[in-house]
Amino acid sequence: MPQGLRYRILLIVALTLWGSLYLIPSFSPALPGWWPSFLPSHQIRLGLDLRGGTYLLLTVDLEKAVENSLDQYAEEFRRALSEAEAGIVDIRREGNTLRFSATSASDRTTVREILADRFPILEPRISAGSSSDIVVDLDSRQVEALQQYAVDQSLETIRNRIDQFGVAEPVIQRQGERDILVQLPGIQDPERAKELIGRTAVLEFKLVAEEGSTRETETLNGQDRDPLSGEPIRTTYTLEKQTLLSGDGIADARVRPSVDIEGPYVELILNNRGAETFEEVTGANVGRRLAIVLDNTVYSAPVIRDRIGGGHASITGGFDLKEARDLAIVLRAGALPAPVTIAEERTVGPSLGRDSIEQGTMSFIIGGVLVVVFMVVYYNLAGLLADLALALNILLLLAALAMFDATLTLPGIAGIVLTVGMAVDANVLINERMREEVRLGKGARAAVDSGYERALPAIFDSNITTFLSGLILFQFGSGPIKGFAVTLCIGIMSTVFTTVFCTRAVYDYFLARRRLNALSV
């Protein structure tokens, strides 16, 4: 046997074994205990249209993301100016602009120095209306960078929340400039999922304002509940606007049981910076009430009895276990950099998925059997070889879906069916060309060579154009269209490999061993 042919046969055998290993987890209810960890364990995931669940299309408020970033810059800048003892009258945000009012030329110089040293992306300029005002603008590139970061951070935060929520095989991906696609297979409680995903989770610690305070204040609603009935009580709190500690200082959040009637609470474990800040804040404000604010709602406002060290704090609010668990999830996963709104929502029942699977499986089996029988009856042994190549084609296609952790949907099944049609068409072209050569009186070797040579241009033309169409669908299509495009493109590559490479290797093998004197085609 020629060495090149030997390598081709080994490649086919290796890919067949690879495909079989990748499909075992998908068709086996449970992997055996002896299954090594280095072998594939991914299953082919089923989409919502096959399994049922919740579909959400979320839109990130990019304008609010830029405003939040500027507010954060303003707060950090306020602290820096306070440390430098600069006479700043006011710091305010106007759209994508920060405006500082300085009382003297030396203060304006201090502002410029702090901007240059600690905030290099902010470019100051003197206001045209007042010589005491310094205006800081964000150019279009900085705004675009902040918006891109907001979408990426929102995507990562939502993924962390859903992973902790315990959803098996979710689909979370960016779609367009500001949208995030979320598919939660098997979830039939969309309200809880929406509440968990959409909660901004901006955590702040602020002091309750004292009577006669001259500091800037704000009024927020509370989350208090009646201790006996558990019903919410409408309360309001007047708080100092300055945020003493934010969610950035949290390292972990856990649900803890309570021995009293208030129910479970959420324990916060602070990181080093958060623990140091919290200890300083509590030590400097003994006897005052410290409000714990989440998404502009006061959950509790306990009195500080003593300096609190050790990096631990707690949030109480009359939670039930589910509410406490969901709150801990969003705090662990971090805050969203901007609000998200639900642009589209669908809930698919599991019965539709089962019916679709059964009908799709039955149609695939019936169509496959008819194709196999036709090829064997019409092309004899050449048809049998084409059927084996078709089976290997489907094996490799499904294995690739499992390897890439792709999600199989109804459009994806349609792509598989189209792949079968393309594969059969390619085999028909090859067999018909070889049959013509046999009718002309050529031998087996010449008929095989001429048949493949004459069929290949048509096979490559049709498959390449279809592959390019699949790439266009994947690039510009939505979720279901992308699923169809993925299976179509993978199927075309496996079709060309099995139809041209594999079947030709089989013919060359038998011709090399002189076991093929006449073609059965």
For 91, phi and psi rounded to 5 degrees?
-130, 120
The 8 Å CB, 24+ separation contacts for 102-109 are 102/132, 102/133, 102/134, 103/132, 108/132, 108/134
For 181, phi and psi rounded to 5 degrees?
-90, 130
- 334 part of a folded domain: no
Q: Are residues 115 and 247 in the same domain?
A: no
Q: What pLDDT score does 131 carry?
A: 58
Split into its structural domains, the chain has a count of 3
What's the CATH code of the domain at 385?
Answer: 1.20.1640.10
* Rounded Cα distance, 7 and 269, in Å: 59
Instruction: Tell how many helices (H) and how many strands (E) occur in the chain.
Output: 13, 19
- 343 part of a folded domain: no
- 333 part of a folded domain: no
Q: Are residues 66 and 39 in the same domain?
A: no
- 54 part of a folded domain: no
Q: Are residues 488 and 356 in the same domain?
A: yes
Q: Are residues 12 and 107 in the same domain?
A: no
* Rounded Cα distance, 22 and 18, in Å: 6
Q: Are residues 38 and 67 in the same domain?
A: no
Q: Are residues 247 and 368 in the same domain?
A: no
Q: Are residues 272 and 373 in the same domain?
A: no
Residue among 255, 250, 235 at smallest CA distance from 323: 255
Classify residue 345 as left (phi > 0), alpha (psi -120 to 50) or beta. beta
Choosing from 292, 316, 340, the residue where a domain stops is 316
* Rounded Cα distance, 81 and 152, in Å: 31
> Residue 396's domain spans which residues?
3-47+349-512
Give the sign of the dihedral formed by CA 490, CA 492, CA 493, CA 497: positive
Q: Are residues 364 and 507 in the same domain?
A: yes
Q: Are residues 253 and 364 in the same domain?
A: no
- 67 part of a folded domain: yes
Q: Are residues 391 and 297 in the same domain?
A: no
Per-residue pLDDT of the chain (521 residues; tens, 9 = 90+): 677 888 999 999 999 999 988 888 877 767 777 777 777 777 777 776 677 778 888 888 888 778 777 776 776 777 777 776 666 556 777 777 777 776 677 777 777 777 777 766 666 665 544 556 677 777 677 778 888 888 887 888 888 777 766 665 677 888 888 898 888 876 766 777 777 777 666 778 889 998 877 777 889 988 766 656 666 677 899 998 888 887 777 788 888 876 655 678 888 888 887 888 888 888 888 889 888 887 788 887 888 888 888 788 777 766 777 777 877 777 776 667 778 888 888 776 655 556 666 776 787 788 888 888 999 999 988 999 999 999 999 999 999 888 887 777 778 888 888 888 888 889 999 999 999 988 888 888 889 999 899 999 999 998 999 999 989 988 877 666 777 888 899 999 999 999 999 999 999 888 887 777 777 87
Q: Are residues 451 and 374 in the same domain?
A: yes
Q: What pLDDT score does 391 carry?
A: 92
Place of tokens 């090829």: 375
What's the CATH code of the domain at 127?
Answer: 3.30.70
Choosing from 104, 125, 143, the residue where a domain stops is 143
Q: What pLDDT score does 128 carry?
A: 45
Choosing from 316, 331, 358, the residue where a domain stops is 316
- 293 part of a folded domain: yes
- 268 part of a folded domain: yes
